Amino acid sequence: MLDFIISLRSNKIGMPLHDKAFYSVSFFLIGVLLASFINDWQQKILVTVLVTVLVAMVFLIMRLYALSTLSVVEGLPYKSFWLAILSLGILLGAGYYFVFDAEQKDFNIHFGDKITFTGIIQKVSTGLNQQNLVLGLQDPYQGRIRITAPRYPSWSYGDLVEVQGTIKKPSEQSEKYFEKEGIFGTASFPEIAFMESGRGSPIKSLLFKIKGFAEATFKRVLSPEKAAFMSGLTLGETAEFSKEFREKMSLTGTSHLVALSGYNITIIGKGVMLALGLWFSRRKIFLLSTLTIILFVIMTGAEASVVRAAIMGFIVLLANQVQRLYSFRNAIAIAAFLMILFNPKILVWDIGFQLSFAAVMGLVYLEPAIRKLFKVSPKPGFLNWRANLLTTVSAQLAVIPILLSNFSSFSLIGFLTNILVLTFVPATMFLGLLVVAAGILSYYLAQVIGWLANIFLSYEIGVIDLFAKIPIQISVQSFSLIFSVLYYVIIITVILYARRRKAHVLA
């Protein structure tokens, strides 16, 4: 969005290919956004067409105006002509959403009565007291449901099971969350009988086994709380968190650490770069950290959310590698495009996706602006504190409206806890990877590395425990869209202002 505005201001002649790509993708995303907000079918089509026509009209009028006055604003007429054509992407985006939605809602589930059905387990997440299963129903039914089951017996991905129980529609509050996941019914504690295993994709089943091994290794060498925290940091797996600890993390503004976002992946990438910086050339380091990210993705079972995070993290690393900002802008737009193509519902309904995106934007655009405006020294400082402070502040500033509108609170003490914790997170995550790698070779080796990781984890959990006792946070009853828009307008203005100052100084 920001670059959108910047490019409109700059007066280049014509429109290069990368710009065309960027704008078509942007319009596509706007189309998806429009389509997700409106519920009614006919309304959806009507509104999208109207908006598309309106946008196209605006650009065309701009061209006509420029032509008629023969203004000296070079390039603008040509550019606006292209924009008018590309704005048809809005229709395309909305259309894609409609088709996806219709396809997904094509399910056949019998609600409300006790029935017997069979299905294949597509996902298992084991909590402290229970297991949550995602089941793909088989004939005569069709669709995906979520089953809550006791902790034992343990089920695995790809198990074919016969279930006896009642399927209910998800509650109104959780409906959108489930819909995003393509789940349209829930069943709690039905009778489940095992029929056959190995009915899933062999690749996925291998990936889940690797994730299971990673989790089991953490559990063997660390205390349960620390193992859970480590699983959160490195695998984004939070099922085994206690309610108390979740609460503490939210009070101290550290929940994002275990939500495996692009942010975490960036941390890993930068950590690897830092560690290898002593030995290898820049290009090799970049390749190696990319390889590490791929390893991490495999370790987490390559779930959609993690793949997304990896793409985002990779993009930030890329931004460090490649200096041309427009290519970064395109990379981020294409990443968003690919993710949305995979599941258009995440744009509006997945908070993780939004947080990732906003945080990355903050890191890339807001951080340099803050650096400039406050004349921050370029040195990273003792234990990287200055760099961490800047990263935290810019990422947090970028996500405040999302946090406030979804969780109605924002932790102020979070700035402090994040600096204290973040400093040691890359090392912890890297040790986590080492623990798993060592666990393949020998339990004792893993145990020894585990002791090292234990020191870091004790510190991090200690900080969270301590600051959870003195929480300072902003709470709001409700946070309307207008405030969010206003907030981002201010942030964008600040960034633009900072850029101009830079130009000034250079001139």
Partner 1 sequence: MPEEERRTFWRKPPHQNGHCQKIGAKRLMPIWCGGKYKSVLLVLAGLLVLDGVIWYLILFPKGADGNLELYFLDVGQGDSQLVNLPAGVQVLIDGGPPNSRVLSELSEILPASDSYIDLVVMTHPQLDHFGGLIDVLKKYKVGAFIGTGRKGEIDAYRELIHVLKNREIPYIVLEEGDRIKNGDNLFSVLSPNNQNLLSKELNDTSLVLMLERGGLKALYTGDIGFSVENYLTGKYDLRAQILKVPHHGSKFSSGAEFVGEVKPQVAVIGVGKNSYGHPTREALERIEEKGSRIFRTDQNATVKVVLEDQNLAIFAENDGY
Residues binding partner 1 (CB under 8 A): 128-129, 150-154, 216, 219-221, 223-225, 240, 270, 273-274, 277-279, 282, 285, 320, 323, 325, 368, 378-380, 387, 447-448, 451-452, 454
Task: Identify the H or E element spanning 460.
Answer: helix 443-468
Contact 366, 398 (CB under 8 A): yes
Q: Measured from the CB atom, is 123 or 270 closer to partner 1? A: 270
> Which residues lie closer than 8 Å to 392 by C-beta, 6 or more apart?
415, 418, 419, 422
Smaller CB separation from partner 1, 339 or 461? 461
Pairing of strands 114-126, 160-166: antiparallel
Cβ atoms of 302 and 214 within 8 Å: the answer is: no
Q: How far is the CB of 303 from partner 1 (least distance, A)?
A: 23
CB closer to partner 1, 176 vs 219: 219
| Minimum separation from the CB atom of position 288 to partner 1 (A) | 11
CB of 370 to partner 1, least distance (A): 13
Characterize the bridge pairing of strands 185-188 and 144-150.
Answer: parallel
- From the list 415, 373, 406, the residue with the least C-alpha distance to 484 is 406
CA pair distance 338, 434, nearest whole angstrom:
31
- Cα–Cα distance list, 171 to 174, 178, 406 (Å): 6, 10, 18
CA distance 389 to 427: 17
Report, in Å, the least distance between residue 21 CB and partner 1: 23
Torsion of CA 81, 84, 87, 88, to 10 degrees: -110
> Residue 292 CB, nearest distance to partner 1 (Å)?
13
Between 395 and 403, name the residue whose CB sits nearer to partner 1: 395
Task: For residue 364, give the DSSP letter.
Answer: I
For residue 149, the minimal CB distance to partner 1 (Å) is 10
d(CA 469, CA 489): 35
CB 479 within 8 A of CB 401: yes
Residue nearer to partner 1 on the CB measure, 20 or 372: 372
What's the one-letter identity of residue 479? Answer: F
Please say which residue, 392 or 411, places its beta carbon nearer to partner 1.
Answer: 392
Which CB atom, from 142 or from 281, has the smaller least distance to partner 1? 281
DSSP for 61-78 reads HHHHHHHHHT-S-TTHHH
Q: CB of 307: closest distance to partner 1 in angstroms?
A: 24
Q: Given the complex with partner 1, which of 76 and 272 has the nearer CB atom?
A: 272
Q: Which is nearer to partner 1, 92 or 452 (CB)?
A: 452
Minimum gap (Å) between residue 282 Cβ and partner 1 = 8
SS3 313: helix
CB of 14 to partner 1, least distance (A): 27
- Which 3-state string (H, E, C) describes 239-306? CCCCHHHHHHHHHCCCHHHHCCCHHHHHHHHHHHHHHHCCCCCHHHHHHHHHHHHHHHHHHCCCCHHH
For 442-455, letters b (16+ CB in 10 Å) and e give eeebbbebbeebbe
The span from the CA of 241 to the CA of 484, in Å, is 31
Q: Which is nearer to partner 1, 136 or 212 (CB)?
A: 212
Closest contact distance (angstroms) between CB of 226 and partner 1 is 8
